[in-house]
Amino acid sequence: MTPIDTSIYAAVSAAIRAEAQRILTEGQVSAVVGYTAARRKGSAQPVVITDANDAARLIFTPACVNNLAVYLTKAKKEIPKKGRIGIVVKGCDLKALTGLMGESQLKREDLYLIGVPCAGVLASTFDPARELTADSIAPKCSECDAHLPQGCDFLPPQTPATPALDRKYAAEIARLEALTPQERWAYWKEQFAKCIKCYACRQVCPFCFCEQCLCDRNKPQMVETTPRPAGNTAWHIVRAMHLAGRCAGCAECERVCPMDIPLNLLNRKMAKELKELYDYEAGFEVNDKGPLTSFTEKDDQSFIK
């Protein structure tokens, strides 16, 4: 398969290290959230650095898949949110931060954004040493419009490769839309049946920051908590609905699913509908109202009698 040019990642890594060290030394930030190498060949993991000497551990590679924005939400109490925090962000991750700012979860002045010129990351880290190719690249990267994150406090000068790839989600959504409802139901039934309710999709999602998830509640129980096909289907429908108009497509839900359920398809379908209905795209600017928390009097109501 066609390899993706990631030759700039070494220089990007060096720039991230230098910047993290500088801002930590100067005391501009209390911590930097970034990526560091792990034991397995080619692997990377999120890391929180508070000591300038540790900045040398930071890297950026195709295995740096995580959306680190999740660590800045109130759901992750383990990360101290004192003072300004530095965070390494790809374009897709920045969209999540933008959304969180719109929802009053974060303030721009509390963040020091270290942008990453990104040509793409791996779809899965089951085999982190895999070469980044048109085949192994994350499907979200095939539709990326943010190789260079905008409005960061620091952005390394490198220009990432932006290979033209087949738009995987668009193609798959079009395929599913062309099916009959019965066929689509059969498709999702098979997918959701695999779900084991590990909630990895929820836990990595920057927008799933509720203190108590509706789907964990049992009084009243709106969604079956058991990992049976019925409860699984309800869970994934509710999840997609709660993310509609907020999800900007970091696709972490899909990446982490141990059962390979194409969860981001639901999110992308919702995004597509919101674009068509209300000309709204999540993640580009800080809006205090999302498409489902606002309205106009002229909204389409052709479906209402």
Considering only residues 94 through 133, tell me which ones interact with another protein, judged by CB under 8 A.
Answer: 125-127, 129
Distance from C-alpha of 112 to C-alpha of 50, rounded to nearest angstrom: 14
Site string for another protein, 196-215 (x = CB under 8 A): xxxxx-xxx---------x-
Report the residue from 194, 209, 284, 286 that binds another protein according to the rule CB under 8 A.
194
Distance from C-alpha of 278 to C-alpha of 281, rounded to nearest angstrom: 9
Least distance to another protein, CB of residue 144, Å: 21
Instruction: Give the nearer residue to another protein in terms of CB position, either 224 or 281.
Output: 224
Whether the CB-CB separation of 117 and 148 falls below 8 Å is answered with: yes
Least distance to another protein, CB of residue 187, Å: 7
- Locate 104 and state its tokens: 């009053």
Instruction: Give the nearer residue to another protein in terms of CB position, either 127 or 285.
Output: 127
| Sign (positive or negative) of CA dihedral 96, 102, 105, 109 | positive
Report the residue from 134, 269, 284, 286 that binds another protein according to the rule CB under 8 A.
269
Which residue's structure tokens are 């993706």?
Answer: 4
Distance from C-alpha of 20 to C-alpha of 113, rounded to nearest angstrom: 10
Which three-class secondary structure string do you get for 217-269? CCCCCCCCCCCCHHHHHHHHHHHHHHHCCCCCCCCHHHHHCCCCCCHHHHHHH
- Locate 27 and state its tokens: 């005391």
Distance from C-alpha of 177 to C-alpha of 170, rounded to nearest angstrom: 10
Report the residue from 11, 18, 79, 165 that binds another protein according to the rule CB under 8 A.
79
Instruction: Give the nearer residue to another protein in terms of CB position, either 170 or 186.
Output: 186
Reduced to 3 states (helix: H, G, I; strand: E, B; else coil), residue 216 is: helix
- The H-assigned helical ranges of 26-131 are 91-102
Report the residue from 1, 56, 174, 277 that binds another protein according to the rule CB under 8 A.
277
Site string for another protein, 156-185 (x = CB under 8 A): --------------------xx---xxxxx
Least distance to another protein, CB of residue 109, Å: 24
Least distance to another protein, CB of residue 54, Å: 11
Nearest to 233, CA basis, from 248, 260, 215, 212: 215
Span interacting with another protein, options 2-10, 93-101, 107-115, 252-260, rule CB under 8 A = 252-260
Which residue's structure tokens are 């990446």?
Answer: 255
Instruction: Give the nearer residue to another protein in terms of CB position, either 25 or 226.
Output: 226
Report the residue from 234, 281, 284, 286 that binds another protein according to the rule CB under 8 A.
234
Instruction: Determine if 259 is a binding residue for another protein (CB under 8 A).
Output: yes
Report the residue from 25, 41, 56, 135 that binds another protein according to the rule CB under 8 A.
41
Least distance to another protein, CB of residue 103, Å: 16
